[in-house]
Amino acid sequence: MQPDRRSFLIAGSAAMIATTTEAGDNVGQESAEKLIAEHVEKVRPLEIAAGKAWWEANTTGRKEAYAKKEATQNAIDAALADKAVFTRIKAAATHPKLDEKTKRQLHLLNLAYLEKQVDPELLKKMTAKSNAVEQAFNVFRAKVDGNEMSDSEVRKVLKESTSSEQRQKVWEASKQVGAVVEKDLLEVVSLRNEAARQLGFKNYAALSLHLNEQDPDAVLKLFDELDELTRKPYEHAKAEIDIKLAAKVGKKPADLMPWDYQDPFFQESPAVFDADLDATYRNVDTLKLCREFYRGVGLPIDDVIARSDLYEKAGKSPHAFCTDIDREGDVRVLANIKPNEYWMGTMLHELGHAVYSSKNIPAAVPYLLRGEAHILTTEGVAMQFQKFSKSRAWLEKMGVTVENPKAFDEAAAKMLRNELLIFSRWCQVMLRFEKALYEDPKQDLNGLWWSLVEKYQGLKKPTDRNAPDYGSKIHICSAPVYYHNYMMGQLFASQVHHALCKALYNADPKTVLYIGDPNVGKFMTEKVFAPGRSLPWNDLLKHATGEGLSAKAFAKDFQS
Ligand SMILES: [Zn+2]
């Protein structure tokens, strides 16, 4: 085997074909198809093997499975780093007579290969530094009065301690990790920027958005719109929360400090509206409800359930995810179901991913396009279905008896509203901070972080605080420039739901429950699932709803 020589020769011929742009031949099309077929032939078995190894690792915890997953992932990365193939892809894409599907596949290949073209030495340094930060996070324990505290102990104190002084101490101690990782984190940022510049981008945030087919200005404009439309509802919700919190901790609402909000970042809703949604779920067969619901909307998931691993066992990952192993219908869910609201919502969520997969994308769609359009569109679909776990009307129509309907309604509606609004303000902070961080890592980042927290979350900066608190959020290191996708997924969920309600029911989106209506599955399949990645995410949204992504539908959900 002489792979280098072979790809060199083909690279040469592809470049020549690309420059002969005379009309009347389909050599460019044929050569592009060949190039795509070669890539798929090489990478597809690796992707399937990686998927299977990942599944085994997470369901059993076996070390060999993790090692196998890592080795296959390395092989995929090595394939995508192939400069000769990358050159051929770029050349092939310039041919003027390609059909739409081929053009789209070449574009996606171009992005996938571009990401891996970073100088290997630089890549090694980046990985080493970010591993160092992650490791520091893993071993860090907040130290209070000489005692070490785990993350969950910190959360417990923030939630349950009645002493403001104690909460402050613990909150401050938990932020210490920022100072521990600050230096390494800033080096990671600078290495990432260097890599981005090598690839022709002004900074890492710009590169990262480009790789995700997102335009920085458009994303920012969307978040401005979101800010505008949610500011009032957020202020209203927070005022209500503040009154409850203040009463709980014995302060005036105006005196509340960041350590009074239960979550170290105030990214989640504090538990102040005491409602036991779980009481209703104690006797519910979560799986049966999911099965019946998805079958009723014309998107049966029995085959997925049969392949899934759904209950706790030794060595297994405690989380939940859905994976499409082969893009030929082998779709599985990992979960750890318990009879409570959290797992009902989580199962509706994961099965939402499951129906938006090769199960419902026609086999005629090429392998490279046979998946979700974007991470935000699949998260959106998952969240669209997840929300029903907090709907009393949905539960009752599914045959579940809700013990105290009025209390459930009030609490669930408030919880959902607070969760979404609080999370949206937190995402504003993350998006804007990361953008500014990569644009100018030498600015006063401590000050910037708190000015955003004050502006968007409405929290008060502790007097004289000057610490790298941004560094205490691990995602800035481990999932950079990614957070906004969660929020955009929520906007997508609302927008698709509203469009579906209009098309099928012409009814108030708040009242539509989907139950027993196969037209829901038909709408979702035709409008959202079937195109796979053939369309970029925003074009898919136009196809599904008639317009590009906006915050309008999401904001409407908060108008009473
Ligand atoms: Zn998800």
Adjacent-strand bridge partners of 228: none
Q: Which residue has the tokens 């401005």?
A: 224
501, 512, 515: which is closest to 292 by C-alpha?
515
Look at residue 322 and give its three-state secondary structure: strand
The Cα 321–Cα 341 span in angstroms is: 17
At position 127, the amino acid (one-letter code) is T
**Residue 291, pLDDT score:** 98
CA of 394 to the centre of ligand 1 (A): 21
CA of 93 to the centre of ligand 1 (A): 33
E strand or H helix at 543: helix 537-545
* Helix, strand, coil % in the chain, rounded to nearest 5: 65, 5, 30
36, 197, 186, 199: which is closest to 102 by C-alpha?
36
CA of 497 to the centre of ligand 1 (A): 17
Is 155 within 8 Å of 174 (Cβ atoms)? no
CA of 187 to the centre of ligand 1 (A): 31
Is 29 within 8 Å of 95 (Cβ atoms)? yes
Please provide the size of the chain in residues: 560
Residues 6 or more apart in contact with residue 121 via CB below 8 angstroms: none
Q: Which token pair is 453?
A: 């927290």
CA of 471 to the centre of ligand 1 (A): 25
CA of 383 to the centre of ligand 1 (A): 7
The Cα 21–Cα 381 span in angstroms is: 42
CA of 385 to the centre of ligand 1 (A): 11
CA of 486 to the centre of ligand 1 (A): 9
- What are the residue ranges in the chain where pLDDT is below 70? 1-25, 274-275, 560
Look at residue 391 and give its three-state secondary structure: coil
> First-to-last CA distance in the chain?
68
Q: Which residue has the tokens 């390494």?
A: 184
CA of 376 to the centre of ligand 1 (A): 9
Q: Is 146 exposed, middle or buried (0-12, 13-18, 19+ CB in 10 A)?
A: exposed
Is 370 within 8 Å of 336 (Cβ atoms)? no
What are the backbone angles phi and psi of residue 407, rounded to the nearest 5°?
Answer: -65, -40
Dihedral angle over CA of 127, 485, 216, 535, nearest 10: 110
The Cα 516–Cα 514 span in angstroms is: 6
Is 182 within 8 Å of 468 (Cβ atoms)? yes
The Cα 496–Cα 505 span in angstroms is: 13
Neighbour tally for 355: CB within 10 Å: 25
**Residue 498, pLDDT score:** 98
Q: Is 164 exposed, middle or buried (0-12, 13-18, 19+ CB in 10 A)?
A: middle
Sign of CA dihedral 410, 412, 418, 424: negative
Q: Which token pair is 447?
A: 């000050």
**DSSP-assigned letters across all residues of 9-49:** HHHHHHHHHHH---TT--HHHHHHHHHHHHHHHHHHHHHHH
Is 35 within 8 Å of 92 (Cβ atoms)? yes
**Residue 16, pLDDT score:** 39
CA of 201 to the centre of ligand 1 (A): 30
Q: Which token pair is 132?
A: 């160092």
Q: Which token pair is 488?
A: 């955009």
Is 316 within 8 Å of 380 (Cβ atoms)? no
CA of 346 to the centre of ligand 1 (A): 9
Q: Is 508 exposed, middle or buried (0-12, 13-18, 19+ CB in 10 A)?
A: exposed
Sign of CA dihedral 178, 181, 182, 186: negative
CA of 65 to the centre of ligand 1 (A): 23
